[in-house]
Amino acid sequence: MASLITCSHCGPRPKEEFTVKGDAAIARPAADASEDAWYAYVYLRDNPRGRHKEYWHHTSGCRRWLVVERDTVTHAIYAVADAAAQGETA
């Protein structure tokens, strides 16, 4: 795991200040979507190999939600953006 995450508000910070909250590519279904769609949204996750976007919460810092694009094999970080700035909510 990368030892530093560059928070878009705080700058480079140790990874221990963050909490990983999962896949940032999952879209919330419509309120009237099927039970199967909601089951998949809540419970089913892929275990991707390679580049992947995840929600990270800067728990011990600014407490902002970030979208971190990282490689799940090498742990290289390619991009960090504020989730709200991307129109995403966690």
Nearest to 58 by CA among 23, 24, 9: 9
Question: By C-beta, is 62 or 77 nearer to Zn ion?
Answer: 62
Q: Report the residue from 2, 26, 62, 80 that binds Zn ion according to the rule CB under 5 A.
A: 62
Q: First-to-last CA distance in the chain?
A: 22
9: contact with Zn ion by CB under 5 A: yes
Based on the shown chain and the rule CB under 5 A, indicate whether residue 81 belongs to the binding site for Zn ion: no
Sole binder of Zn ion in the list 6, 29, 61, 82 (CB under 5 A): 61
Q: Is 2 helix (H, G, I), strand (E, B) or coil?
A: coil
Q: Apex CA 22: angle with CA 20 and CA 24, to 5°?
A: 115
Part of the chain binding Zn ion (CB under 5 A), chosen from 3-11, 27-35, 43-51, 75-83: 3-11
In terms of DSSP H, where are the helices of the chain?
35-43
Binding site for Zn ion (CB under 5 A): 7, 9-10, 58, 61-62
